Structure 1
Amino acid sequence: MIKRSKFLSSILLFFTCFSFGITASKLHAEEFEVKDIRVDGLQRVSAGTVFSAFPVNVGDEVDSVRLVEASKNLFKSGLFTDIKLGREDNDLLITVVERPSISKIEIDGNKDISTDDLMDGLKSAGMYEGQVFQRVTMERLELEILRSYVAQGRYNASVDAEVEEQPRNRVAIKLNINEGDVASIKHINIVGNSAFSDEELLDLMELKTPGLFSAFTSDDKYAKEKLSGDLERIRSFYLDRGYIKFNIESTQVAISPTKEDVFLTLNITEGPLYTIRDIQLKGELIVDEDEIRRLVLVKEGDTFSRRLLTTTSDIISRRLGTEGYTFANVNAIPEPHDDNSATVTFFVDPGRRTYVRRINFRGNVNTADEVLRQEMRQMEGGSASTNLIETSKSRLERLGFFKTVTVETPAVPGSADQVDVNYSVEEQASGSLSASLGFSQDSGFILGFNVSENNFFGTGRRVSMGLNTSKSVKSARFSYLNPYYTVDGVSRGFSVFAKETDFDNLNTSAYILDTIGGSVTFGYPINNFSRLNFGLTATNDKLEAGDESALEIVDFVNENGDNFDNLTVDLSWTRNTLNRGLFATQGLSQSFSTNITTPQISDLQFFKANYRTNFYQPVDRFHKWVFRLRSDIGYGDGYGDTSELPFYENYFAGGMGSVRGYESNTLGLKGTQSPTDSSAPRAFGGNILIEGSAELIFPIPFVDDQSSMRTALFFDAGNVFDSSRDYNPELSELRMSTGISFQWVTAIGPLGFALAKALNDQEGDDTQIFQFTLGQNF
């Protein structure tokens, strides 16, 4: 009996070892006490690793069964291709053959899936340089890579792995990938639709059969992700139009034998059209039920629409959020009836009122936390208000310091009624609206030392200083503005400046104006969007008329002199709801300003008033296509002893930022030249300005980050008029143009150019097709 048992044990040991690649030699089946354990064949793997995976220690009593189990454990480590156990007296001998290590991995032939992505996939599966090579893992990865290509419609893709043995028990792996071509959709068949035609449903899909532009759009190339998106669009289309019981029964994707063509079949069930019978509100409403009902976007008798119900739920949730119920949950549940009507019940679960424990800022490397905290309307310790949190986010975006601003309200761990408000910002250059080096068609090269920063050393204060020179303007200036002079948001600023302008180089009538002065301003916030500003500006203006000056200039100097000291009172009102300070995509900004010189104190008595607007309306929900309207209306005149607006305060029009397609400052009446002056008359400006433009802003193809650049199709119209010379505003006198523009905030300042076509230029107008500027405001 004992001998038979030993025989069976030996047989068991042999077959078990054979199945795991383990060979037993000189190993007897009887039990023995292990006096020592020796390991042979190790190259990279340490002996400690072997001992930790081999559950037999010196002094243990072992038999064949235990040794087999111990060998299994060691083999499972995946480090060895062969394990041999032997016995020498009472010493246990373990001879191993290590698996080779990966010395190098190369990938060739891939284009659609990047090498980095493939390497990441290999690494996550345990295949990278220095790691132990296992062929089973290699084969599994080949299949996974093929599945990735099949999901993109590349059914004839192939992956061939080459394993080259190298010295010191290493291997080099090379993956040769043939991505193949994406299968083209030859036919899409929709079965079961009657309420809407095949053409209507096919228009909803991103996947198309080959068309005129398919070579550029690749919309005929099959991809599993695109099909999933198309099915969801069709489902939403039906649910938004009353088909509550709509269902996509099945989809079939058939592939041609050549694996180059795909045939899609969609089987759908539309069901009946449902209308809304009744609207009910259930749950804890918190606010008055009548107020909530006013927020509901559907009413009894309307066609059922899932989109309107979802939007209504969001609106109600936001309303509850303003009361501090940040995690309010509102679900709209339709209950269909046999008469093709449905009762819609909004289940309102406000949850617990939450309070803000802490407001945190991330990403503001250069901007101090205090600057961001000044814009907060949601306070720490207060009830969490969705409206105040979003208003604070909008105020951060309007600063112009950040490319993006996002906000999250995670719950505080261990607290049921507290949240943190985390604002994440991505900073951008905030001093790029003015630069020390530039060029424009009007002023030529602009050189000099110039620093302009809207976020000076991250303090949120605006500082500008510099010396600049060009062929038309020489200037020195310094300005400072503190938007939060007081904690209530009262701003204070001041500036000093000196400027010499040679208008002979600016397409206008020839004269030289020297100005020196200074100003102080204060601003008061009315609410989160509006401000009142007032200030005083003192200037000394000196005029120098030349031989080619217009007669109007000569007459003005003869009547009023050529040296003027003026004190101007500046008043303005602004309202800004734009979602960004730079390159806005939604909202309205408008301002009204007036400047009037003080009587008795000033040498000249005149006033100017301006009204400006900027309106942005997104066309799509991603804010990539945006419609913009701009207007600028100005009027000025003299009063008291001054009969008209001084000519050097005239408005001008034409050029970048005005009516593109016409040379800068050239629109309006020309100055009257003296009989002895043979040069062409030049623009003289006027006391009335009317400008406007409409733009369609669209995304730039193949550019991922468009936060600092934009392109637009535009239509401009405008002119300047002069009531003192009986040139009054008339619609027929407005100059118009159309074209395309590009703007880009570069490291040295903003770059802007436009290709424009003047639409109704008249004799004497100076047109210009290409216009650009670098390093100046646009």
Structure 2
Amino acid sequence: MKRSLLSLLIGSMAYASGANAFVVSDIRIDGLQRVSAGTVFNSLPIEVGDDVESVQVSNAAKALFRTGYFKDIQMGQDGDVLIVSVVERPSISEIVIKGNKAIKSEDLKKGLGQSGLSEGEIFQQATLEAIRLELERQYVSQGRYGASITADVEAQPRNRVKLTINVKEGKVATIQHINVVGNTVFPQEDVIDLFELKKSGWFSLFGSSDKYSREKLSGDLERLRSYYLDRGYINFNIRSTQVSISPDKQSVYITVNVDEGDKYTINDVKLSGNIIIPEEEAELLLLAKKDQIFSRRVITTTEEILSRRLGNAGYTFANVTGIPTPDHENKTVSLTFFVDPGKRAYVRRINFSGNTKTEDEVLRREMRQMEGASANTQKIEQSKVRLERLGYFKDVTVETPPVPGTSDQIDVNYTVEEQPSGSITASLGFSQSDGLLLGGSISQSNFLGTGNKVTVGLNKSDVSQLYNFSFTDPYFTVDGVSRGYSLFYRSYDYDDTDISNYATDTAGADVRFGYPLSETESISFSVGIDNTKITTGTSTPDYITSYLNQEGKTFTNVKTTLGWSESELNRGLLPTRGYSQSASAQVTIPGSDLAFYKLVYRGQYFQPLTSDFTARFATRVGYLGTYGKTEDVPFFEHFYSGGFGSVRGFKDNSLGPKAKEKNGTNFNSIGGDFVFEGTAEILFPLPFVKDQRSLRTSAFFDFGNVYDTQCAAGVIDCNKPDFGELRYSAGIGLTWITPLGPLTFSLAKALNAKSQDETQVFQFSLGAPF
């Protein structure tokens, strides 16, 4: 007779009392749809041939339940055959999230997937409830206390379900009050100013500082703790923090209770351990001194300095720990710096990644740390800085992981993120000074990934034509000697700009060499020849025609240039830290048609003010003079001032001496033989833009002018160098390095323009150098 227990559930007393032990001759699985039979057999603790009783059958059912694949399991017997009937849990066919804006759907789904809730997975109601609570917690951490999450489960054919998660985010609660209780040493205002979180006010419209965030508050409390610890209050303690929410869940009130303790001074500073480097040198690196006020920052900085010094000696795994021992009775602290140098480390390999275009050789030749040599922290970091200064990469990072299985070897891994270093395109642009720009060019500072700079251009604008070819190999020799050469033809009609009425046609060529003096300094030498032809118009000023009548209209000059440059900038493109400066002296050699020389100095300095703001100062000074029998400097070699790269807010090339048009009343700028310019800027991030590495936004103050020390007849405003004649402007500017070319613009106000000056509030340039 056929016996069946298919109706009995796990733990059924009927099964326990009525079932007899039997030897399993076969096992049959009923009800499987997606789960494989192998999965069931792997989880089932009963095999064919086992002698089983009711307890073992019950335990087997429990084991299958623990897999999470089934919502119902029934065990039965048909003769000697064990029958397992299952009902699978449904699978998730689709997850739809509605109503979310503050957190992207992709991020929410990623979090759901990490918790086991994703499309194609088994659906469990308990997991869904846990996820709903977790999502609400995420919104609460953003200060959205009114957020609520509901979930709808819709049955689908073939034992599937569709999940719809409805999000009601609510508004971020704003901070109405922040109070620190227990502080007596420092004013309440100074302490609260340390917080990134701020009380809601007018300026809150431009940021999120008044939006409560648990993470921000944690950072603020750590900042507060550091403030006291850096000023001697070693026992400072934050007793409690209360965050109160208004009944409508729209306002937040924060109260921080602190115990300041007493101020401690340093009583003694000692070194301990295996110092390796001379103890006298190590003591000079100790920033903490006796009788100083205790400061945790001084301790951590000293640890970093000593660790770096040991790293420079090859002990990359060195560990330096500053241990303070307080004397509470005398309110003093004894400091002991324990030095554990570890083993001297050697570099096994130097690896590069991320350089999909740039050849490895280009990166490797910038390395100052060599493979097989003792690891040197300074050289590893210096190599990183040299890669950043190339201007080929947006970002450079370095890691020094130990080699597995060794205790004295590391690999040095540089990861770079490449950025456009030029273009091979037809160009179309517009500049206020040059008008419409048309042409085709190849301009690559990293040509085909070789590190060579190549420029081939055919460009035409309303006022100029330029055809040029230039090539520079920065590593002409393995020692870093560079060589370059160029050919060019340039035609310029100055009547279409703010410069006097004449045109020039110039063709020339040069060859140049550079020699590195140090990691940051180099000298250069070049020799070139050019031929310039001057064409005058009907209104050319007498000042110019007089010079041409005396010297001629065609000039062939051989020029030599000696230059020196130094750069401590952190990047080759849009730097934010360090300084650079250069000086050059150009002179025509005897035998040239004209005898003159040019001296030019340029410098810039970047000083970070905060993590987001940087101060920049820059200047340009130039002088044009003659030697031998030549008395008048060539007017077509003059310096000009005004516009981009000069004094913004004034029209390009419009400042300085002016000459009256012949038979006219207009005065046009003619430049001068001495120029002095400068700028002071505050660089700041552009709001709502995450990647700032190709952007520069600034508030600037420009000043400068160009002077004519000879003051020829018919020239006005030809002052000798005089700071009282400087022009000033202020405004905001933006530079954006795009794949199509540089874009730059400024809004500036000329502050002390005179009647003869030409001003321009908005200036921009697209697709042209700036």
TM range (shorter): over 0.9
CA distance in structure 1 between the partners assigned to 2:592 and 2:569 by the alignment: 38
Q: 1:722 aligns with which of 708, 728, 740?
A: 708
Residue in 2 aligned with 1:774? 766
Residue 230 (structure 1) shift? 1.4
How many Å apart are 1:441 and its aligned residue?
Answer: 0.8
CA 577–504 in structure 1, closer or farther in 2 if over 3 Å, else same: same
Distance in 1 of aligned mates of 2:48 and 2:276: 74
Q: Which residue is equivalent to 1:648?
A: 636
- Hey, what does 2:415 align to over in structure 1? 424
Relative to structure 1, the CA distance from residue 660 to residue 248 in structure 2 (aligned partners, 3 Å threshold; closer, same or farther) is: same
Aligned to 1:663: 651
CA distance in 2: counterparts of 1:646 and 1:497, whole angstroms:
20
What residue in structure 1 maps to residue 714 of structure 2? none
- Tell me what 1:490 maps to: 481
Partners in 2 of 1:220 and 1:590 — Cα distance?
43
CA distance in 2, matches of 1:155, 1:18: 47
Match for residue 500 of structure 1 among 481, 491, 499:
491
Bigger mean CA deviation after superposition, 382-391 or 606-615: 382-391
- Residue 24 of structure 1 contacts residue 86 of structure 1 at CA under 8 Å; is this kept in 2? no
Provide the C-alpha distance between the structure 1 equivalents of 2:749 and 2:177, rounded to a whole number of angstroms.
Answer: 45
Q: 2:673, 2:55 → 1: CA distance?
A: 107
Q: Measure, in 2, the Cα distance between the counterparts of 1:737 and 1:110.
A: 47
Instruction: Give the one of 262, 273, 283 matched to 1:283.
Output: 273
> Residue 477 of structure 1: SS of its match in structure 2?
strand
Residue in 1 that maps onto 2:110: 120
Q: Distance in 1 between matches of 2:594 and 2:204?
A: 68
Equivalent residue number for residue 702 of structure 1: 688
Show the counterpart of 2:11.
17
Q: Which residue of 2 aligns with 1:301?
A: 291
Of residues 551, 563, 574 in structure 1, which corresponds to 2:565? 574
Residue in 1 aligned with 2:728?
736
Alpha-carbon separation, structure 1, partners of 2:437 and 2:740? 12
- Tell whether the 8 Å contact from 1:668 to 1:683 is kept in structure 2 after alignment: yes
How big is the shift at 1:579? 0.6
The worse-fitting range, judged by mean Cα deviation, of 268-277 and 517-526 is 268-277
Q: Which moved more, 1:645-654 or 1:213-222?
A: 213-222
What TM-score comes out, normalization by structure 1 length? 0.94
Distance 1:133 1:757, change over 3 A: same
SS of the residue corresponding to residue 202 of structure 2 reads coil
Moved more, 237-246 or 470-479: 470-479
Task: State the alpha-carbon separation in 2 of the partners of residues 169 and 494 from structure 1.
Answer: 75
User: For residues 206 and 771 of structure 1, do their structure 2 counterparts lie closer, same or farther at Cα, with a shift above 3 Å needed?
Assistant: same
Change (3 A) 1:433 1:560: farther
- Report deviation, 1:150: 2.5
Structure 2 counterpart of 1:764, from 751, 756, 759: 756
> Which secondary structure does the structure 2 equivalent of 1:213 belong to?
helix
| Structure 2 partner of 1:134 | 124
Mapped contact 2:8–2:76 kept (Cα < 8 A): no
1:176 aligns with 2:166: yes
After the TM superposition, which residues 673-688 of structure 1 pair with which residues of structure 2 at under 5 Å, given as runs? 673-674=661-662, 677-688=663-674
**Match of residue 585 from structure 1:** 576
**Which residue is 2:742 aligned to?**
750
Q: Distance in 1 between matches of 2:227 and 2:598?
A: 55
In the TM superposition, what is the alpha-carbon distance from 1:216 to its structure 2 partner?
A: 4.1
Query: Relative to structure 2, which stretch is displaced further, 27-36 or 227-236?
Result: 27-36
Structure 1 residue identity aligned to 2:404: P
Partner of 1:525: 516
1:478 is aligned to 2:462: no
1:587 deviates by: 0.9
Cα distance, 1:123 vs structure 2:
1.2
Equivalent of 1:637, from 619, 625, 640? 625
Answer yes or no: is 1:711 the counterpart of 2:697. yes
| Aligned-residue offset at 1:250 | 2.3
Q: C-alpha displacement at 1:744, in angstroms? A: 0.6
Q: CA deviation at 1:346?
A: 1.5
Tell me if structure 2 keeps the 8 A contact 1:606–1:644. no
Secondary structure class of the residue paired with 1:370: helix
Are the structure 2 counterparts of residues 771 and 217 from structure 1 closer, same or farther at C-alpha, using a change threshold of 3 Å? closer
1:381 to 363, 372, 377: 372
Q: How many residues align?
A: 758
Q: Distance in 2 between matches of 1:317 and 1:126?
A: 44
Q: Say if 1:101 and 1:133, in contact at 8 Å, map to a contact too.
A: yes
Residues in 2 aligned to 1:684 and 1:187: alpha-carbon distance in whole angstroms: 62
2:320 pairs with 1:326 = no
Can you list the C-alpha shifts for 1:701-742, whole angstroms capped at 9, x where unaligned?
A: 111001111111111111111111163101111111111111
Query: Residue type matched to 1:737 in 2?
Result: S
Q: Deviations over 1:510-564 (max 9, x none)?
A: 1111111110001110000011100111111111122111112111111111122
Partners of 2:190 and 2:665 in 1: CA distance: 65
What CA deviation, in whole Å up to 9, does each residue of 1:442-480 have, x standing for no partner? Answer: 111111111111000000000001211112111211010
- Cα distance change, pair 606–184 in 1 and its aligned pair in 2 (3 A): closer
Question: What displacement does 1:673 show?
Answer: 3.0
- CA-CA distance at 1:767 after TM superposition: 1.0
Structure 1 unaligned regions, length at least 5: 1-9
Whether 1:273 aligns to 2:263 is yes
Structure 1 counterpart of 2:677, from 691, 714, 732: 691
Could you tell me whether the CA contact under 8 Å between 1:744 and 1:752 is conserved in 2?
yes
Q: CA deviation at 1:404?
A: 0.9
Match of 1:400 among 391, 397, 408: 391
Report whether the alignment pairs 1:627 with 2:615: yes
Deviation at 1:378, TM superposition (A): 1.2
Let me know the Cα RMSD of the aligned residues: 2.0
Question: Does the CA-based 8 Å contact 1:717-1:735 persist in structure 2?
Answer: yes
Residue 207 of structure 2 corresponds to residue 217 of structure 1: yes
Query: Are the counterparts in 2 of residues 435 and 452 from structure 1 also a CA contact under 8 Å?
Result: no
| Identity between Structure 1 and Structure 2 (%) | 52
Distance 1:214 1:606, change over 3 A: closer
1:57-78, CA deviations, whole angstroms, 9 ceiling, x for partnerless residues? 3333222122111111112221
Per-residue deviation, 1:650: 0.7
SS in 2 for 1:578: coil
Q: Are the counterparts in 2 of residues 618 and 626 from structure 1 also a CA contact under 8 Å?
A: yes
- Corresponding residue for residue 715 of structure 2: none
Q: 1:764 to 1:208 in 2, by over 3 A?
A: closer
Tell me which residue corresponds to 1:4: none
Could you give the per-residue CA deviations for residues 387-421 of structure 1, whole angstroms, max 9, x where no partner exists?
11111111111111111111111111111111111
Between the aligned partners of 1:215 and 1:748, the Cα distance in structure 2 is 35
**Contact 1:84–1:95 (8 Å) recurs in 2:** yes
Check the 8 A contact 1:614/1:630 in 2, yes or no: yes
Give 1:333's aligned amino acid. Answer: I
* 8 A Cα contact 2:423 2:442, kept in partner: no
Per-residue Cα deviation, 1:77-106 (whole angstroms, up to 9, x for no partner): 212221122222222222221211211111
Q: Which moved more, 1:485-494 or 1:385-394?
A: 385-394
Aligned mates of 1:434, 1:103 — CA distance in 2: 48
- What is the CA–CA distance in structure 1 between the aligned matches of 2:402 and 2:137, rounded to whole Å? 39
| Aligned-pair CA distance for 1:503 | 1.2
Separation in 2 of the partners of 1:214 and 1:462?
48
Distance of 1:137 and 1:51 partners within structure 2: 26
User: Which residue is 1:5 aligned to?
Assistant: none
**Structure 2: segments with no counterpart, 5+ residues:** 712-717
Q: Which amino acid aligns with 2:440?
A: F
Contact 1:430–1:455 (Cα < 8 Å) also in 2 = yes
Select between 431-440 and 399-408 the one with higher mean Cα deviation. Answer: 431-440
Residue 234 (1) aligns with residue 220 (2): no
Under a length normalisation based on structure 2, what TM-score does the superposition of the two structures give? 0.95
Q: Which amino acid aligns with 1:368?
A: E
1:435, 1:748 within 8 Å by CA — same for their partners in 2? no
Structure 1 counterpart of 2:459, from 468, 473, 476: 468
Classify 1:285/1:637 alpha carbon distance in 2 versus 1 (closer, same or farther; 3 Å): same
Among 78, 82, 93, the alignment partner of 2:72 is: 82
Distance 2:282 2:141 in 1: 46
How far has the Cα of 1:232 moved from its partner? Answer: 0.5
State how far apart, in whole Å, the 2-side matches of 1:62 and 1:298 are.
76
CA distance in 1, matches of 2:665, 2:355: 57
Q: Which amino acid aligns with 1:668?
A: G
Aligned partners of 1:766 and 1:755: how far apart in 2? 15
